[in-house]
Structure 1
């Protein structure tokens, strides 16, 4: 043994019990009572919860977008993840016309080998099939552990949008390969029409970002994606679900037995569209935007009912001066907000306050993401799995501020939010990478997670 965590309360997606965890060579070697061995590092977790590390399956690190690049590099983004109890981060590299999947992924892996502070995986955003070459390459990519892909129904002007034909080709292909297709679902034509009309009318504040892509605009995209997935009987993962109507369509399909998964994000659970009326409303601009109270209520209800599968962040922060580009024109605001360091603390605080159970928080943030995306060594405290462990102090009071986060951005939408309980320690494959508010890991520690396709 290399490490024993003693006297804690172990929390999984299904159980809560007192016990010790022994770690050897980065893996969980034993779970039991009164585990001991001479000369082994012992962490006393008395009065604390012991949880599996979170798996944030939705981040955009060092991503070129909106005339700039998202504020967090692979180093700072994964450092922040570690400090929030996230031990595996999924990034979304964007394939462009003429580019291959594996060429892009290998380029990103080379950076992560030097910078990543926790383990990492990649979805690949497909923007062009390169006359069918991408469909062929996907088989090799799946063998290499890239078992999920993404389509955008939006960002037409940025060259990222796919049409329905491309989307259905990819749905068929992931079904053949045991992979899964992720989708950002909104209606691009309605958005463009609304933006054009608002700007002509001189309606330029962040409030019109929300009104240009309100509930029904996202719902149409969700329904269209669900329609094709149902009729092709193909696996579909809907990212950052924010609206009630689209959620209902996805839930109905799930209950009919279709292989459809739903993700939402902490920002949709905490904030409503009212934030766009604030003086700093531009800081909250992301896509899809926060919606009304009815949609937020529906999201929490779906979490309670088990109809939402995962909570992830869509972490894509920009600096305040970049957000200010849209001070007089909402369409110029880079879309994205911070979140990777806030995911687990926020959901665990919700559990501590009685909104959900701690088991549900683990299910949404760790177990389900690992299972859906084929991370066989992640997502649970089980003998033989990676020793990705969070020790959580349920009594600690914590107020989020840009000053106590570990990213590179200069502001956060979470400023001033108070949490009940907070992670005390994060362990990545048996190594302590965060302790008592400080990052104590090292860049390059993180390893690529080779995932397994569904059989």
Structure 2
């Protein structure tokens, strides 16, 4: 054995129990008691919880958007992930007209390999089928380990949106090849209509970002995507669900037995649209925006009763001076907020406060994303799995500040948020990468996760 973590309470998605974990060659070799400690590094986790590392299935690292690039590249973004107990991140390379899937992915992989501080995987955004040639590449992409593709139903003017016919082609091809389609659902025509009206009327504050993309604008696209997926019996994963009406439609489809998965994000669980009335409201601008209290309540209810499948972050931070570009015109604000370092601590704090169980937090942040996206070596503390492990101190009080985060951004929407309990150690395949407030890993330790086809 190389490492033993002893005396901690192991938390899985279904049970909690006291046991020791023995690690060898980056894998969980045994779980039990009274392992020989001769010549083995030992970590005493008495009084603490031992959890599988989180999987943030939704990040945008080094992403060009809004005339700039997101503040966290692969080094700082994965460093921050490690320090929040996230041991695998999913990034979204964007295929553009004339480019293929594998070319797009491999160019991003070349950027990520020397910098990644945790393991990583990719969903590939499809923006143009290149006369359907992209569809012919799906099988090769799945064999490569890319088993999920994303479509935007929005960002028409930016050249990122797919129309309904293209979406159906992608849904069908993904189904055929054992992949799954991720959807960003908002209606661009309604958004553009609202924006034109607000700008004409001189209504330019961040509050009008929300009013240009209110609940029904997201709900219409949610319901359309669900309807199409149901009609052709194709699996669908809805990213960053934020509105009650769309949530209800997706839940209804799930209950009917359709393969619909729902992701939401911590920002929708913590903040409402009221933040856009604040002086610093532009810092909270993301798409879809935070919605009204009714939607937040519906999201929490769905989480508690097991109808939301995953919580991820849509991590896409920008510097404050870039957010300030839209101080007098909300359409110029780069869309996105920080979150990758806050995901697991936030959900585990919710568990510590009794909103959900610790088992449910593990299910949402680790076990379910591993299952849905084919990460067979991730997602649970099981013999033979990767030793991606977080030690969590439920008694540690922590206040989030830009000063104690590990990203490259200069502000955070989470400033001042108090958490009850916090991760104190993170291991990636048995390697200690975070220790009580300090990043202790090495860039380049992260490995590409080759995923298996969706069942």
Superposition TM-score, scaled by structure 1 size: 1.00
For 2:425, the equivalent position in structure 1 comes to 425
For 2:333, the equivalent position in structure 1 comes to 333
| 1:316-335 deviation per Cα after TM superposition (whole angstroms, max 9, x unaligned) | 00000000000000000000
For 1:143, the equivalent position in structure 2 comes to 143
Is 1:161 aligned with 2:161?
yes
Distance, in Å, in 1 between the alignment partners of 2:46 and 2:261 is: 37
Is 1:3 aligned with 2:21?
no
Tell me the secondary structure at the aligned position of residue 114 of structure 2. helix
For 1:353, the equivalent position in structure 2 comes to 353
- What RMSD over aligned residues (CA atoms) do the two structures have, in Å? 0.5
Per the TM alignment, residue 112 of structure 1 is displaced from its structure 2 partner at its CA by 1.2
Per the TM alignment, residue 448 of structure 1 is displaced from its structure 2 partner at its CA by 0.2
Tell me the secondary structure at the aligned position of residue 23 of structure 1. strand
| 1:25-47 deviation per Cα after TM superposition (whole angstroms, max 9, x unaligned) | 00000000222231100000000
Per the TM alignment, residue 409 of structure 1 is displaced from its structure 2 partner at its CA by 0.2
For 2:253, the equivalent position in structure 1 comes to 253
For 1:175, the equivalent position in structure 2 comes to 175
Distance, in Å, in 1 between the alignment partners of 2:51 and 2:232 is: 38
How many equivalent pairs are there?
455
| 1:414-448 deviation per Cα after TM superposition (whole angstroms, max 9, x unaligned) | 00000000000000000000001000001000000
Distance, in Å, in 2 between the alignment partners of 1:192 and 1:404 is: 39
Matches within 5 A, 1:89-238: 89-238=89-238
Tell me the secondary structure at the aligned position of residue 137 of structure 2. helix
Distance, in Å, in 1 between the alignment partners of 2:103 and 2:309 is: 31
For 1:18, the equivalent position in structure 2 comes to 18
Aligned partners of 1:4 and 1:36 also within 8 Å:
no
Per the TM alignment, residue 364 of structure 1 is displaced from its structure 2 partner at its CA by 0.1
For 2:50, the equivalent position in structure 1 comes to 50
Distance, in Å, in 2 between the alignment partners of 1:401 and 1:304 is: 28
| 1:188-240 deviation per Cα after TM superposition (whole angstroms, max 9, x unaligned) | 00000001100100000000000000000000000000000000000000000
Distance, in Å, in 1 between the alignment partners of 2:301 and 2:65 is: 33
Per the TM alignment, residue 171 of structure 1 is displaced from its structure 2 partner at its CA by 0.4
For 1:380, the equivalent position in structure 2 comes to 380
Tell me the secondary structure at the aligned position of residue 191 of structure 1. helix
For 1:71, the equivalent position in structure 2 comes to 71
Per the TM alignment, residue 69 of structure 1 is displaced from its structure 2 partner at its CA by 0.2
Distance, in Å, in 2 between the alignment partners of 1:210 and 1:81 is: 28
Distance, in Å, in 2 between the alignment partners of 1:35 and 1:331 is: 60
Is 1:287 aligned with 2:287?
yes
Per the TM alignment, residue 113 of structure 1 is displaced from its structure 2 partner at its CA by 1.1
Tell me the secondary structure at the aligned position of residue 55 of structure 2. strand
For 1:267, the equivalent position in structure 2 comes to 267
Distance, in Å, in 1 between the alignment partners of 2:429 and 2:384 is: 11
Tell me the secondary structure at the aligned position of residue 140 of structure 1. helix
Is 1:411 aligned with 2:381?
no
Distance, in Å, in 1 between the alignment partners of 2:235 and 2:108 is: 26
Structure 1 stretches of 4+ with a deviation exceeding 6 A read: none
For 1:33, the equivalent position in structure 2 comes to 33
Aligned partners of 1:88 and 1:121 also within 8 Å:
yes
For 2:369, the equivalent position in structure 1 comes to 369
| 1:365-384 deviation per Cα after TM superposition (whole angstroms, max 9, x unaligned) | 00000000000000000000
Is 1:276 aligned with 2:276?
yes
| 1:385-439 deviation per Cα after TM superposition (whole angstroms, max 9, x unaligned) | 0000000000000000000000000000000000000000000000000001000
Distance, in Å, in 2 between the alignment partners of 1:366 and 1:50 is: 13
Aligned partners of 1:9 and 1:47 also within 8 Å:
yes
Distance, in Å, in 2 between the alignment partners of 1:235 and 1:303 is: 20
Tell me the secondary structure at the aligned position of residue 28 of structure 1. strand
Structure 2 gap segments, 5+ residues each? none
Tell me the secondary structure at the aligned position of residue 18 of structure 1. strand
Tell me the secondary structure at the aligned position of residue 113 of structure 2. helix
| 1:284-315 deviation per Cα after TM superposition (whole angstroms, max 9, x unaligned) | 00000000000000000000111000000000
Is 1:448 aligned with 2:431?
no
Aligned partners of 1:11 and 1:358 also within 8 Å:
yes
Aligned partners of 1:168 and 1:228 also within 8 Å:
yes
Per the TM alignment, residue 180 of structure 1 is displaced from its structure 2 partner at its CA by 0.2
Distance, in Å, in 1 between the alignment partners of 2:420 and 2:427 is: 21
Tell me the secondary structure at the aligned position of residue 17 of structure 1. strand
